[in-house]
C-alpha cells in the first residue's frame, strides 16, 4: 500500500464528515482522526499459545475410589497443585486402602469418578495438566 491511497482515504473522510477511520493489515496499523493520519505501529503477530497438555490418571488397580482418606471429613478442592508422588486419592479393597499417586508435578484439574464408585484397572480417575518444563 502506498501513501497515495492514504491521502485518498483522508479526502473521503473529510468529504463525508467521517470523524475517525482505522485500518490494519499484515504490516501496519493506521488511525485517521480529525484530519490527521497516525501510524500506530506495525502489527505484531503473537504465536498462539499451545493448548495445555492434558492427561488422564488411570486407576493403578481395581477398587472402590475414595477422593480422601476416610478419617478426613472434607475432600481436597480441585483444581489444585500436586507434586510427583503426592497422594491424590485412594482405592479401597475391603479394609485395605491403597494410594493413587500423582505421576509428576502439575495441576489436578478434575475428578472423573464419583467418591465410592467402583474403579476398574485403567479407568481414568482424574484429568491432570503436567507442569511445563
Over residues 64-73, mean pLDDT: 85
Over residues 54-81, mean pLDDT: 88
What CA–CA distances, in Å, run from 16 to 21, 22, 37, 39, 96? 12, 16, 16, 22, 82
The CATH 2.40.50.100 domain(s) of the chain lie at: 55-130
How do residues 112-124 score in pLDDT, each as one tens digit? 999 999 999 999 9
Can you give the pLDDT at residue 52?
A: 75
For residues 116 and 49, give the distance between their C-alpha atoms in angstroms, rounded to a whole number. 38
CATH class of 55-130: mainly beta
How do residues 18-34 score in pLDDT, each as one tens digit? 777 777 777 777 777 76
Mean pLDDT for the chain overall: 83
Residue 12 per-residue DSSP state: H
For residues 124 and 127, give the distance between their C-alpha atoms in angstroms, rounded to a whole number. 8
For residues 88 and 96, give the distance between their C-alpha atoms in angstroms, rounded to a whole number. 16
Can you give the pLDDT at residue 77?
A: 83
Amino acid at each position: 500500500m502506498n501513501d497515495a491511497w492514504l491521502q485518498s482515504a483522508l479526502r473521503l473522510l473529510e468529504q463525508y464528515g467521517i470523524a475517525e477511520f482505522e485500518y490494519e493489515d499484515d504490516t501496519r496499523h493506521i488511525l485517521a482522526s480529525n484530519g490527521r493520519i497516525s501510524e500506530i505501529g506495525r502489527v505484531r503477530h503473537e504465536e498462539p499459545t499451545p493448548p495445555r497438555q492434558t492427561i488422564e490418571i488411570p486407576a493403578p488397580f481395581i477398587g472402590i475410589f475414595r477422593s480422601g482418606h476416610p478419617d478426613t471429613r472434607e475432600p481436597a478442592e480441585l483444581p489444585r497443585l500436586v507434586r510427583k508422588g503426592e497422594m491424590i486419592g485412594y482405592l479401597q479393597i475391603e479394609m485395605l486402602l491403597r494410594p493413587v499417586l500423582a505421576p509428576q508435578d502439575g495441576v489436578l484439574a478434575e475428578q472423573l469418578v464419583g467418591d465410592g464408585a467402583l474403579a476398574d484397572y485403567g479407568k481414568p480417575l482424574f484429568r491432570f495438566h503436567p507442569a511445563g518444563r
